Structure 1
Amino acid sequence: MKVVFYSQHVLGVGHFFRSLTLAAGLAPDEVVLVSGGRQAPELKLPQNVREVHLPSLSMDAAFRGLHTEDGADVEVIKAARRDMLLGVLERERPDVFLIELFPFGRKKFRFELEPALEACRAAGPNGPAVVCSLRDILVEREDMQKYEHRVLATLEKWFDLVLVHADQDVQCLDETFPRTSEIPVPVAYTGFVAERPAPGARERGRAAAGLGPAEKLVVASAGGGQVGFPLLNAAVEAFGLLADRPDYRLRVLTGPFMPEIEFARLKARASDLPNVQVQRFEERFLDLLAAADLSISQAGYNTSMNVLAAKVPALVLPFDANTEQARRAAKLEKLGALAVIGGHELFPQGLVARICEVLTKHPFAPSRQVNLDGAANSAILLRRLVGKDSAQKPGKARR
């Protein structure tokens, strides 16, 4: 099976890294990952994955219009991307065209996706199955009726399957898409997509960090880093009040896209604190998290699943530009998997109290097991869809 997987991140890198984890889970099948956001440095691709990077387009924290990295004309970039995507599909001739989020999101990328979808359907029975890869929670919309109508019509016209990367016992699609029962193609829950720590990761990570049995490691992270400075700054300042606790250590991961001026401020403050280390990126982040005694982060999909996979206590501050992270954090807090902190707690004394509470009491343990096998289950569902042992794959090409 060959999969062309379209994944476009516009602010952080969460969508991209979830897609990368999913692509790795499709091994040994070949995946051509088509991405088009800011490129993350120091990236090592899984052996079964090839990346095709479209000219970058992104958005700001308010998710307004598209813009380019170098100030190039947006319309010129859009035309180049459209042609590149069509070229990938024509050259690769995949069994599956997997599209992250669209049509539930990424409306601004219809300029390249709709021509690609038209090309897939024009190929008839020889064309690929078309599948939507969807996270657990959708962001709220101002005109929900119009939005739902557009999504349903697009699914009816072009798609064969929707994969929802969630545990249905934790989060159902109809909570944020009320007309789920009207979706005209099959909807399958895969479980959450989550990378797992390598066996023995905690022991190796603690040894590599020089941690003794009684020492406590806190990892504060900000995903891509574009909107994480206030939280990380609060964590560093909190450790400024913990000078009498040399057994408490803090590793700060800012993310590759934190503005240089903010990164420099954190580095400068940490230079006065011997128990604080600041860096942009950690390739083996999940193993580091497994070695930790506490995670401090926002509540994005990837980091939340990393917390569950690493089985580490966590304090999370949901990103407040929309309700997605707050919904996820509330669900996981109810399960006992983490604790939510508010913006009003981002002052040193308040955060110190929460940190010390977790490190001394270890209060978080999920009340039920959460399905984190989303990548493996997605692979099973996609292989079943294309019917490797049948003469013709199911879907709209058969209509």
Structure 2
Amino acid sequence: MAMSTDTEAHDVEDVYYDPYDVVLNANPYPMFGRLREEAPLYYNAQHDFYALSRFDDVDKGLVDHATFSSARGIILELIKANLDIPPGLLIMEDPPIHDIHRKLLARMFTPRKIAALETQIRDFCAESLDPLIGTGHIDFVADLGAQMPMKVISMLLGIPEDDQEFIRDHTNRQMRTEAGKPMDHEHGLATGEIFAAYIDWRAEHPSDDIMTELLNVEFVDETGATRRLTRDELLIYLNVVAGAGNETTTRLIGWAGKVLAEHPDQRRELVDDPALIPQAIEELLRFEPPAPHAARYVARDVSFHGQTVPEGSVMMMLIGAACHDPRQFGSDSEEFNIHRPLRQHLAFSVGTHFCLGSALARLEGRVALEELLKRFPEWDVDLANARLSPTSTVRGWESMPASTP
């Protein structure tokens, strides 16, 4: 169905959202607020996408995979490129095949397995933070955020320490964009060849890690056949886990450094009562979600706010806007408040694609904050020298330097 000529509902003058706009992305929340109120279904003609910004719309849209498909990618430029997405790229699949692949990976992230990691995560934090005591400075990203999640995910995958930084930088590079430019999808869908040598070695030397488990797991695929994963599927799985396991927790820790510096009274409460930290992590995720949007292919005509979005369109689900919606979070939704009554946020998405690693991310965030605040109850961030990451898909800091008394 063609676009309605009644454009007032979504083409409001000077209400503008562009995921590649560097200035806008530095603080998108004022514009997100205008989108929610003035253009709850927004259309961007330049990049040809629609966007939803209200909590209920985004919540329902993320759950409705029959209308909003992930199978062509979840990033605007990937959907536009109309590529063949290789099987096993979990975040870019719909049920039923998604459910088969997800079930396999879910075995790696059971609550028991995650809980068993706490001591090691604490040790990794101590390794990163202890050398900084007395130096007067810390970079929340370089010194902790980029180190600890990498060590945890590498331990899970069985990647030797000598190669961990190389793997992390490689998977992060795949998400990188030049400031203000789309992702280079030619290089953005690598099949994880970087892990090939480990797979071959691990096949000969089994261990208690995800790689060994995935090498040996048998499952019923979408054709009804019982089989093991192919080498290509395995490579893609490992790429997904390595990328997802590094980038978002890194950004969460960077945001914690900035936001808590700007709210010293709440930071002091966390120092005095660490039992408040899990709630603070939820509020940080809501207040500055590291993945601020997810794109979907519109598989059938759908209507929002009196407008029809035609089949074949791209819909951006603005998670960052939804997480600040006063309809869900109250009149103080634009404020950071560790005592906010817990309500569902969308930082880990929802429905079929609810983040598999959410329990791990929460655990890493909690332990990182506990260990940070134990050693550094106060700090001031150096925003003049902080650098925002250039990816259009993940929003956070590349560097967040701070001084510690």
- Tell me the TM-score normalised to structure 1 length: 0.26
Relative contact order (alpha carbons < 8 A, sep ≥ 6): 1 or 2 greater? 2
Higher helix share: 2
Higher strand share: 1
